[in-house]
Amino acid sequence: MLFMIIAAGCSPQKKGEEKGGAALLPVSEATITSILDSVAAEKPGADIKLLEKGLRHAASLWRQEDGTAAEFSAFVKNNYIADPVKRKQVFVKISNFLESLSGNFNEVTLDLRKNLDEATGEIDDVDRMFGTYSPGSHLSDDFYSNKIAFYIALNFPYYSLEEKEASGPSWSREEWAMARLGDMFVSRVPAEISQAMSLATGNAEMYIAEYNICMGKLRTDDGRQIFPDDMVLLSHWNLRDEIKSNYAAGEKGAEKQEMIYKVMERIIRQEIPKTVINNPEYEWAPFANKVTKGGTPAAADPEPDTRYEHVLNIFKGHKAADQYNPEMNTAILRKFSAEMEISQEEIEALFDSYLSSPELAKIGKMISERLGRELKPYDIWYDGFKARNNFPEDKLTEKTSALYPSPAAFREQMPVMLKNLGWTPDRAKYIADKIVVDPARGSGHAWGAAMRGASSHLRTRVSEKGMDYKGYNIAVHEFGHNVEQTISLYDVDYYTMSGVPNTAVTEALAFVFQKRDLDLLGIKANDPENEKMEVLDAAWSLVEIMGVGMTEMLTWLWLYENPEATPAQLKEKTIEFATGTWNKYFAPITGVKDSPVLAIYSHMIEVPLYLPNYSYGHIVQFQIEKYLKDKKLAPEVDRMFSQGKLTPQQWMMGAVGSKISTEPILASLREVLK
């Protein structure tokens, strides 16, 4: 949490540039050399290489408002720690201070957002005001003002991704932990810009959290109702999952899938009538796009490009921060090279290579044969390779709703689920005791603790009838996140190393859990072909999620080329990129052209550039699953995730002995296709 607040950028500002009206003090090369010589003479035991790195890093962050060159020189001489023993002692103190700040800010944020994230009743304007407020938005400025930032930058300097990859394999755990501390102060984004970004993101999150479709109010063009009265589905997650669940329902299922796909198209194109969004008072025929109220025709004015307006608001917030990150001067660079610690170009090349693989068309043909028809655009969510499709959705829901009538019931069963996955009773209780379960307003998510002694939160949606199967499947996924969050906080040796390399790695464990959801219900799929089906399912799922990731990357690259775009223009280009990506990669697989469906993902609206993490996570998951095949899951998960925040490639080397690659899944796919 604290690292997210402070590390808004990923590289120091250049000297002499104007930033927000405050010029940086140009600490000259002569000044740096003079300070270096002086400190080296006064402290002969100093590590000169480390001193110079810290000195230059601190100088790059110093502004006129921070003091004169002479004051900077005095600060360095008074605060540089030459003694390695003393430096370690100070590092431990700083770690403890940061854990307290991070953990308590996290708890305050959870309290302020409670009414937004949890199903606590009606949301008032005051809930939005407090929920979108960032209590730590001024912390970075404060740390520069009181010189804590410069103290850390000087003694624990920043290492670039290239330096971490080159030197990291030979670093000790302590050296890694100190390097991660150096990641904290690399830019100076004003508090008002951070707050504006938080507000834009919070508004988008609330927009998505309330984007429900009242399925019982949908009508065919001839007036028929084909969904239950009380079915309400959140876009896009629940709509997608309803498509998946209907593959086992024959012609009736196909009719429902066609209608859901049309709803998705209307949302993407912003042709959906605004009156039917989260509103059970109107009937809507999505094919004809007509609205009635009690059978009487009503106005069907479309949603006014609100979906894309939220994207633009978030983009503008990130764009305003660009000037404070001169070397990482776009949100794209910060998201990939900084947060994911892999470049956008590498990700795009990885995705392109996989999506262009000739084996994928063979899977498409196989799905078409299994369905007995030509493929449709929504078949990117074909779920027939999973063992669960042998079990009707309603029967699974009967079981999950009986087991989990409330969030509390799910929490009570968490130790049992962990024991079923291989953890000892004591270890299962240790992990489960650090996770609480809350009723979610949206589809569900996991929110980790940020200090030892605090709990992770699993938010899940449970209706009055209990947890349906789709909700259970999501809850098990989020449970995997919570287990990672617990291990990577409580079992990591240094606080600054807590966590995982990036969100792709935590997604990997969430997928590992989600894959075992039927096992946790006591349902065993006794299919000798199951292992082959798992490979096919993993390969097909990766196609879909890579496609939406590619679409979003293209959209954000275009936004940076067209920063003054209107919501209408952004809508047009998003649809163009979604359709272009579809025609390049998906049309050869499915035989269908010109579908915009890759633009339906809600992540694109509320969590910019998050989607590539899922694909990355699928790749990591497959490699982990392959590694775990002849090993016990629980002790290996404990070992892997207690590594903490290494770079992704080094984490994978430690976890499974190889770097991240799509070749393992393609090799397995080729074997299956034989």
What does the pLDDT read at residue 537?
92
pLDDT at 326 over 80: no
What's the average model confidence in pLDDT over 601-607?
Answer: 95
pTM for the whole thing?
0.76
**Rounded to an integer, what distance in angstroms lies between the CA atom of residue 653 and that of residue 657?**
4
What does the pLDDT read at residue 8?
41
Residue 665 tokens, joined: 């899944």
Percent pLDDT > 70 in the chain is: 95
What's the average model confidence in pLDDT over 143-161?
Answer: 94
Sign for the pseudo-dihedral over CA of 530, 532, 538, 542? negative
Cβ-based burial of 464 (10 A; exposed 0-12, middle 13-18, buried ≥19)? exposed
363-379 pLDDT, tens digit each = 999 999 999 999 999 99
Q: Which helix (H) or strand (E) holds 193?
A: helix 191-209
Distances 194 to 140, 347, 598 between C-alpha atoms, Å: 10, 27, 30
pLDDT at 137 over 80: no
pLDDT at 327 over 50: yes
pLDDT at 4 over 70: no
Instruction: Indicate the SS3 state at residue 445.
Output: strand
Distances 595 to 343, 575, 581 between C-alpha atoms, Å: 28, 9, 9
**Rounded to an integer, what distance in angstroms lies between the CA atom of residue 624 and that of residue 664?**
11
In which band, very low, low, confident or very high, does the pLDDT at 15 lie, cut at 50, 70 and 90?
very low
What is the SS3 string spanning 600-657? CCCHHHHCCCCCHHHHHHHHHHHHHHHHHCCCCHHHHHHHHHCCCCCCHHHHHHHHHC
**Cβ–Cβ < 8 Å for 313, 199:** no
Residues present in the chain in total: 674
pLDDT at 20 over 50: no
What does the pLDDT read at residue 642?
98
In which band, very low, low, confident or very high, does the pLDDT at 488 lie, cut at 50, 70 and 90?
very high
**Cβ–Cβ < 8 Å for 173, 494:** yes
**Rounded to an integer, what distance in angstroms lies between the CA atom of residue 401 and that of residue 463?**
9
Longest dimension (CA), the chain: 89
Residue 579, Cβ neighbours under 10 Å: how many? 20
What does the pLDDT read at residue 17?
38
What does the pLDDT read at residue 651?
96
pLDDT at 61 over 90: no
pLDDT at 26 over 70: no
Sheet holding 456-460, edge to edge: 435-439, 456-460, 444-447
- The secondary structure of residue 214, as a DSSP letter, is E
In which band, very low, low, confident or very high, does the pLDDT at 507 lie, cut at 50, 70 and 90?
confident
In which band, very low, low, confident or very high, does the pLDDT at 626 lie, cut at 50, 70 and 90?
confident
What's the average model confidence in pLDDT over 61-74?
Answer: 91
pLDDT at 14 over 50: no
- Nearest residue to 618 via CA among 509, 468, 461: 509
627-656 pLDDT, tens digit each = 988 899 999 999 999 999 999 999 999 999
pLDDT at 13 over 50: no
Q: Buried b / exposed e across 549-576, counting CB within 10 Å, b at 16+?
A: bbbbbbbbebbeeeeebebeebbebbbb
**Rounded to an integer, what distance in angstroms lies between the CA atom of residue 598 and that of residue 544?**
8
Query: Residue 435 forms beta bridges with which residues?
Result: 456
Q: Buried b / exposed e across 212-237, counting CB within 10 Å, b at 16+?
A: bbbbbbbbeeeeeeebeeeebbbbbb
Residue 495 tokens, joined: 């606080």
**Rounded to an integer, what distance in angstroms lies between the CA atom of residue 276 and that of residue 353?**
41
Distances 524 to 205, 403, 528, 532, 631 between C-alpha atoms, Å: 37, 17, 12, 16, 19
Helical residues (DSSP H) of 269-406, grouped into ranges: 306-321, 331-333, 344-355, 359-371, 393-403
What's the average model confidence in pLDDT over 444-472?
Answer: 94
Give the up-direction half-sphere exposure of residue 633: CA atoms within 13 A in the CB hemisphere. Answer: 17
650-670 pLDDT, tens digit each = 999 999 999 889 999 999 999
Please report, as a single letter, which amino acid is at residue 394. D
What's the average model confidence in pLDDT over 582-611?
Answer: 96
**Rounded to an integer, what distance in angstroms lies between the CA atom of residue 608 and that of residue 377?**
24
pLDDT averaged over every residue in the chain: 91
**Cβ–Cβ < 8 Å for 478, 484:** no
More confident site: 461 or 79 = 79
Helical residues (DSSP H) of 356-468, grouped into ranges: 359-371, 393-403, 407-420, 425-432
Q: Where are the domains of the chain?
A: 2-178, 328-385+527-632+644-673, 392-520
Residue 224 tokens, joined: 């028929």
What does the pLDDT read at residue 73?
95
What does the pLDDT read at residue 9?
37
In this predicted structure, which of 58-62, 147-151, 269-273, 354-358 has the lowest mean pLDDT?
58-62
87-109 pLDDT, tens digit each = 999 999 999 999 999 999 999 99
264-315 pLDDT, tens digit each = 999 999 999 999 999 999 999 999 999 999 999 999 999 999 999 999 999 9
